[in-house]
Amino acid sequence: MSDDGLNTDRDRKAMLATHRFLTIALCVIATSAVSTTAVAQERSNRRTLDGHSFLTTSTVGDPFVGTYVATLTAAGRALDMQVPVYDLDGNQIAILDGNIAFLQLGFTYQQQLAKWLALRLNVTGAARMGTNHVSLLAEGATAVYGGSFGAVFRLVESRKVFLSLLADVRGNSLYAISPLSFAEAVIESGGIDSTTQLLGKGNNGRFVGGVRAAYAFAPWFGITGLVEFGPAQRFFEDETGDRDGTTFEAGGTASFDLRPGTSVPIGFVGSFLYQSENERGDDLVGKQTVFGLGVFYNGRQDFQIGVEANFQRLDQRGLDNKINATQIKLLLRYDF
């Protein structure tokens, strides 16, 4: 059997495994939701400490074990991408600049099973496309979808402090069309064969564990933080032929609630996240740093809706260039 056939079988098996994983996770959460009615009366105080209701953010997960559902709709642009141009002998002769536009949708459901335990399911899909002739030829169009399934274990809960452990299994499938890479492969091989593919496919996965914490300084101000790490497998092989690596993430938030003292049902949240390996990035992106600022309506303790702006600083694999990306997100969360 050809290498192309083996890769196709491997991709098909990986996709089936991903679909089975998400189906099983949904069944587990649905069963848990039915069987934990009695636990609902004993739930922790959702995401409130010392009178401060912590605001949600798409970049940094919170440590709480309450039941909630959240949605994400986002759009953005990535600027200053560089595309190296090579001659037929493999010598770099120029570097061209390009831009990329992208869309993202996300859904999260967390079910509390006990005062100290909750299970969470997340499903996300995203797509990107070049917006000028350079990026359209070099990066074409990319679609990625996947999700995660994990558990949150409460360690400490007091009037001002909440500390928990996290364990997550995450995976994504990626499909990418790059006309420039296809043309380069045709030239290199002298024709179209099993090694020249217009559509690139890949799957990644990671198992992440870590610690999350929240602290309320006052009813109007609180902070959260997280540190997570674990083994990771990238979409594609690097220059050494290796796909395996390690991921490390660290981040935090600071949320301000205007209701105490003013009765204005508005809150602000600032966020920061560092990732050593972008979870949904392909060969374009390595590590990333994300800054966020959100404005939310929080007139009810169990409901939040707001807009978050993100600024991302991304590495470009194989180059010293940094890519600047901006993103606007509409977030909604309801705590049961």
Portion of the chain with pLDDT greater than 90, in percent: 39
Instruction: Give the CA angle between residues 113, 213, 42 to the nearest 5°.
Output: 30
Could you tell me how many helices (H) and strands (E) the chain has, helices first? 4, 14
Tens digit of each residue's pLDDT (9 = 90 or more) over 246-298: 889 999 999 999 988 888 999 999 999 998 876 555 444 567 788 999 999 98
Predicted confidence (pLDDT) per residue in 1-57, tens digit:
444 444 555 555 555 555 555 555 555 444 444 444 444 334 444 789 999 999 989
What pLDDT, on the 0 to 100 scale, is given for residue 273?
93
| pLDDT of 64 over the 80 cut | yes
294, 83 Cβ separation under 8 angstroms = no
Q: Is the separation of the CB atoms in 72 and 331 below 8 Å?
A: yes
Q: In this model, does residue 86 exceed pLDDT 60? A: no
Q: pTM (2 decimals)?
A: 0.74
CATH number assigned to the domain covering 3-335? 2.40.160.40
Q: Give me the count of residues in the chain.
A: 336
Domains of the chain, by residue range, sit at 3-335
Report the mean per-residue pLDDT for the chain: 77
Note the pLDDT tens digit of each residue in 162-207: 999 999 998 888 887 766 666 666 566 666 666 556 667 777 888 9
| pLDDT value, residue 41 | 38
Instruction: Report the alpha-carbon distance of residue 102 to residue 120 in Å, rounded.
Output: 26
Rounded CA-CA distance 151/228 in Å is: 13
| Maximum average pLDDT range among 10-19, 73-82, 233-242, 322-331 | 322-331
